[in-house]
Structure 1
Amino acid sequence: MSVVQTVLAFVVPPLVIYVVVALLTIAPKTAKRPKYRTGEKWAYEPVLWTANPEGAHLPAHTEHIEPADGAATTGGARGHW
């Protein structure tokens, strides 16, 4: 095997794989809508959880989920499975 054949066999295929993976990684980022930049007006709905919804000017969470079997919840790191 010559040096050219060795390079073609052992260097080019991994290089092509790296380039394809890089393009697949970069391509979706260029097709998305513009990102928020610091100082710009925030025009999106809040999506993160907050422990203080009133402080974030969001409606308070009022739903209370009861256990299906009617058992009282006492807290702690134990449960019935």
Structure 2
Amino acid sequence: MTVVQTVLAFVLPPVVIYAVVFGLTLGRKASRRPRYRSGEAWDYEPVLWTANPEGAHLPAPTEHVESATATTGGARGHW
């Protein structure tokens, strides 16, 4: 086996794999929308759930919601 064959067999494949992974990660970052940074204005509609619908200027939920003191188990914490 010559030096050229050794380089082609043992050096080139890992370099190509690293280049492909590097290119995919850079390509995803460049094509995404800008990320939200703290302190910036939030110009998007609320999605799925909000802890304070009145604070988000949304109608209050109409279904029955248990109070926080009526917990029956699960994780608890004191702040």
TM-score between the two structures when normalised by the length of structure 2: 0.59
Q: How many residues align?
A: 65
CA offsets 1:21-50 (integer angstroms, 9 cap, x no match): 221122022112221112111111122523
CA distance, structure 2, for counterparts of residue 48 and residue 22 of structure 1: 34
Query: Does 2:36 correspond to 1:36?
Result: yes
Q: Which runs of 5+ in 1 are unaligned?
A: 65-81
Correspondence for 2:15? 15
- RCO higher in 1 or 2 (8 Å CA, sep ≥ 6)? 2
Superposition map of 1:1-80 within 5 A? 1-62=1-62
Aligned alpha-carbon RMSD (Å) = 2.4
Q: Which secondary structure state, in structure 1, belongs to the residue aligned with residue 54 of structure 2?
A: coil
**Which sections of structure 2, spanning at least 5 residues, go unmatched?**
65-79
**Identity in percent:** 73
**What TM-score results when the alignment is normalised by the length of structure 1?**
0.58
